[in-house]
Structure 1
Amino acid sequence: MLGLVVALVYVNQVLFTVYVLRVHGGDVTFVSRYLPEGWFALADGPGMRAVAERVPWPELLAPSVLRVQAFLELPLVMLAYVTVLRWLDRGLYRRVADSWIVWAASLSYTFVFCVVEWGLWNPYTTEDIVIRVCAALVTPPLVQWLARRDGDGPRVSSLAQMLVFAVSVWALGHLVLTVYDTALLYNLAHLGGRLPGALVAVVALVAARLAAGRLPDGEPGRASATVANALRYALVLFLVPALAVRYGPNVGSPLLAAAAGLLVCGAAAALTLRESLAGAGRNRTVLWCGQTFAALLAGGLAGYAAVRAVTDVYYEAGLLRGAAVCFVAAVVVCALTDRLIGEERSVTGAA
């Protein structure tokens, strides 16, 4: 379903380009003057112009200007998020999708989108807000319907599964950022430059998902289980405020957004700490603290190096790369130290 939504986003981009070429002579100032710089890089080459000339009644494509995207943006974001949760823990994904949390997330994201719309006031704003409210009512039932049709699946636990999960999330995040730049900002002309990286991400994603279905389950040690549990808690707790935290520095209060992010991290850490140290004796607790410190240090240094290694057009790309590398480094340290302690168990069966 996520792929279908992405396809519809790009179909709308083509229709938007046809509309601008045929109705406005290729001039996007009728809408671009209301929005910040960095939007509306029109793909108006010979091929696109040839397509545009063959489309009848181009005036009917007027809704392709902002309004179609206003409906598709919420399902795109929510489906991408729950896809990550599904990869991590199929059972948890189904429980969350079938709960009030998806409705709360839908309302939260829609509120943020509407605040952004209001801040970028233009002749389409009122219609866009109404359309976004409609999307907020439609998207949660869609997510729930998909979850109820889903079957059982593995829960990420072993080192190999966590590494494949990290690759999957990085690749999906890279593709979402590509869609954001080339489609949600109406920059279809950027697609050529983004295509090589997007193809690498597609190959990595397909390979990772194929591998995920073939990896055996394992019994992780205490430190490795801590990382997996922390990720589960963080993804669930972050689901509702995610977009508010993302846009807080731009349209709200940076301090409030930072506080919300830290609150989520703190709550996830507290819940993880309680679960991870349940039944642990004094000596094991001390060892766990050492493992956790080593993992955080290694992950932090590796993530910082990954962020600084490349200058990105969008800072989210650097954060995504840094988070993925940080996660990989942390889980490797945890798995190795668990094995040294003799706590990690051997593989128990196929996933």
Structure 2
Amino acid sequence: MATSVTLSVIILLALMAGLLHARRATTTDGSEGARSGKNIRPLASPPVALAVVTATVYLNQVLFTVYVLRCHGGDPSFIARYLPAGWFALAHSHTLDALAGYFPFPGLLAPSVLRVQAFLELPFVVFGYLTVCRWFSATAYRAALRLVWPVSLSYTATFCLIEWSLRNPYTMHDILIRVIAAIAVPLWAAQMSGDAPGRVHNLPGLLVFALSAVALGVLVLVVYDTALLYNLGHLNARLPVIAGALAVLACARVAARCVTDARASRGIDSITRSFGHLLVLFFVPALPIRYGLNFGTAPLSALASLALAAVATGLGVRETLTRIPGRLTTWILQMAATVTAGLGGMTASILLPARYAEARLLWAAAAFFVCAVTTCSLIDRLAAAPAGSDDS
């Protein structure tokens, strides 16, 4: 009960912080076809930071396995008994056994049990989210960068609350480490370039973005399953999924550079601007809303998500109708058909496999987005209304 009440407070405070950001400027590039490449520092970008953090997470998993093999006879029950089922499926191989056998001073690897990961989880989720924002638009990315401090506070409060609800001998250490990470991650993000390539926000551009985001989401879920839950033993079975997701992601990022510059219609423009606002507004409360689904605050999480979606839609639509005027009733009918198609795709997504709730949410969001933007673009084509003209 105390956990759900505290999490509800965190959700409400994070929601307020996200909504306060609604006064900021637009979150799509001023010129969708513009491609600025100046002042970009590839080594100080969220995708690179995310790759470094992910590699460190897996290195810690290897060291954890060595520690358990040498110091606990391969039995993780000393820590597993404090956590829910589904954790600590150790990897077994001749290579790991040999490494464990020759590793000097294995007792020094004791911090690999929960504590190293307590630091790495925050940059993993923050840089993953920033990567998606950067892929969507330069302005959404810059707006998200400005929110890293409140995001760090919101996510750390959530992580610490969950830590306390699953108390174990390392809980106090983990909380202290998470507080340190809450300071380190914003300082790290402050060193990143605020610039990003311009994005083309027409139908091909949005579909390429969706493909990129889904592929990254799959990889994040694999890391969650195989590393963040200390299930390195699941990694071999997930290798085909990893290879497929990496191939799709690579193709999508190449395709993003090849999307032709064609001005978006009023329908697509409104979806683009609304989604850009949603990405930014959702950044601060995203993690507490997600944990709310499992810790007794699912109704509040749902209401908070709907509130953010409504505000983002209002902001995006206002910008679009200012830039591309036309008959409002025509736009409303088009959006009704678009939302209906999106909801249909979301409903159909229940047929896709989902080991974790995050996977179900990923499939539903992707299906809604792809079906909605495709339907909207098709209606624009059938209406044959040139962008920027009055369709009254």
Structure 2 length-normalised TM: 0.83
Task: From the superposition, tell whether residues 280 and 216 of structure 1 become closer, same or farther in structure 2 (CA, over 3 Å).
Answer: closer
What's the secondary structure of 2:201's corresponding residue? coil
Gaps of at least 5 residues in structure 2 are 1-48
- Alpha-carbon RMSD across the aligned residues, in angstroms, is 1.6
Higher relative contact order (CA 8 A, sep 6+): 2
- Per-residue CA shift, 1:286-307, capped at 9, x if unaligned? 111111111111111122112x
Q: 2:189 aligns with which of 128, 132, 143?
A: 143
1:157–1:220 Cα contact (<8 Å) kept: yes
CA distance in 2, matches of 1:280, 1:86: 25
Task: From the superposition, tell whether residues 173 and 152 of structure 1 become closer, same or farther in structure 2 (CA, over 3 Å).
Answer: closer
- Per-residue CA shift, 1:270-298, capped at 9, x if unaligned? 212322333666x6211111111111111
Q: Which residue is equivalent to 1:60?
A: 108
- Per-residue CA shift, 1:29-63, capped at 9, x if unaligned? 11001111010001123332122112111110000
Q: 1:15 aligns with which of 60, 63, 75?
A: 63
For the pair 1:289 / 2:332, whether they are aligned, the reply is yes
- Per-residue CA shift, 1:168-194, capped at 9, x if unaligned? 000000000000010000000111121
Q: Which residue is equivalent to 2:118?
A: 70
Q: Which residue is equivalent to 1:190?
A: 234
Instruction: Give the CA deviation at 1:344.
Output: 4.9
Q: 1:44 aligns with which of 66, 85, 92?
A: 92
Q: How does 1:271-310 map to 2 (within 5 A)?
A: 271-278=315-322, 284-306=327-349, 308-310=350-352
CA distance in 1, matches of 2:355, 2:370: 24
Instruction: Give the CA deviation at 1:312.
Output: 1.6
Structure 1 length-normalised TM: 0.93
CA distance in 1, matches of 2:323, 2:89: 58
Q: How does 1:1-351 map to 2 (within 5 A)?
A: 1-97=49-145, 99=146, 101-148=147-194, 151-278=195-322, 284-306=327-349, 308-344=350-386
Identity %: 49
Task: From the superposition, tell whether residues 152 and 312 of structure 1 become closer, same or farther in structure 2 (CA, over 3 Å).
Answer: closer
Instruction: Give the CA deviation at 1:94.
Output: 2.2
- Per-residue CA shift, 1:78-135, capped at 9, x if unaligned? 00001100000113312431x2x11000000000000000000001000000000000
2:140–2:277 Cα contact (<8 Å) kept: no
CA distance in 2, matches of 1:293, 1:45: 55
CA distance in 2, matches of 1:326, 1:259: 18
CA distance in 2, matches of 1:177, 1:26: 26
The residue type equivalent to 2:138 in the other structure is R
Paired residue total = 340
2:266–2:387 Cα contact (<8 Å) kept: no
Instruction: Give the CA deviation at 1:147.
Output: 2.8
Task: From the superposition, tell whether residues 157 and 279 of structure 1 become closer, same or farther in structure 2 (CA, over 3 Å).
Answer: closer
After TM superposition, the structure 1 stretch with the greater mean CA deviation from structure 2, 66-75 or 84-93, is 84-93
Instruction: Give the CA deviation at 1:145.
Output: 1.2
Instruction: Give the CA deviation at 1:198.
Output: 1.5
CA distance in 2, matches of 1:301, 1:92: 28
Gaps of at least 5 residues in structure 1 are 347-351
Instruction: Give the CA deviation at 1:345.
Output: 5.2
1:90–1:153 Cα contact (<8 Å) kept: yes
The residue type equivalent to 1:340 in the other structure is L
CA distance in 2, matches of 1:294, 1:62: 57
CA distance in 2, matches of 1:279, 1:310: 39
Task: From the superposition, tell whether residues 203 and 25 of structure 1 become closer, same or farther in structure 2 (CA, over 3 Å).
Answer: same
